[in-house]
Amino acid sequence: MTTTTTTTTPVLQAKGLTKRYGRVIALESGDLELYPGEILAVIGDNGAGKTSLIKALSGALIPDSGEIFLDGVPVHFRSPMEAREVGIETVYQTLAVSPGLDIADNLFLGREERKPGVLGSVFRMLDRKRMREEARRHMSELGIGTLQNIGQAVESLSGGQRQAVAVARSAAFGSKVVILDEPTAALGVKESNRVLQLIRDVRARGLPVILISHNMPHVFEVADRIHIQRLGRRATVITPKSHSMSEAVAIMTGAAAPPPRVA
């Protein structure tokens, strides 16, 4: 994906998004382009506006002004639900899994499937068998078939496995974009590697991914392009090949002037 050209329409594009909280400007001019089949990392110091930018893209925040385009068509999200209805799935830092429910329930939470016929329409009975089979299929498609029991409560899983459930859910239902907010922040080395592999698997299935992370080695390992956010706007976009980690950090913190966009 190093040869991003202007001829390709971005899957997801933000133009001039702004968000103010009183006098505080969280996002001054939020621009972003996500192209088909790529992993775009978004990095930035605390308060650079990356969370506001991502929230606007996933419907969790309504920007004061600016535009969002999905496949070139302008869209306006008023809730996370509206964003996911058009195929943008987000895995939030807080994971958004319900610890007490099992893996299958979590995967289908908010879009449960009912049994066909009278049982489903009148008695509103859930089709647990089918949901479990589907859940098992989704999990093994992403190479996380090691979980023996799909009926296991999520709270009994390790941090990495929980993250895997959340990623599997977004990959299973996201038809356009998957947004991952700090997916490796709470994980150990081994678990992080599995999640990074999971992210590549999602890309391999044709879904572009936006990855927000503070972890430079992880960003440089999986990202195709790196969007650097600084002081409420996009400073530049680099690639892991064009710049080193320390250069990226320098741009991010303002120690170095942002180079022109290379990608």
Q: Which amino acid is present at 198?
A: L
Nearer to another protein, 13 or 161 (CB): 161
Nearer to another protein, 70 or 131 (CB): 131
CB of 61 to another protein, least distance (A): 13
Distance CA 146, CA 127 (A): 24
Give me the DSSP letters along 73-128.
EEE--SSHHHHHHTTEEEE-TTTT--TTSBHHHHHTTTS--BPSSHHHHTS--B-H
Q: What is the dihedral of CA 120, 123, 126, 127, to 10 degrees?
A: -50
Query: Is-contact 152 102, C-beta < 8 A?
Result: yes
CB of 35 to another protein, least distance (A): 26
Binding site for another protein (CB under 8 A): 60, 80-81, 84, 90, 92, 94-101, 105-106, 109-112, 114, 123-126, 128, 156
Nearer to another protein, 75 or 101 (CB): 101
Nearer to another protein, 1 or 101 (CB): 101
CB of 129 to another protein, least distance (A): 12
3-state secondary structure of 67: strand
CB of 126 to another protein, least distance (A): 5
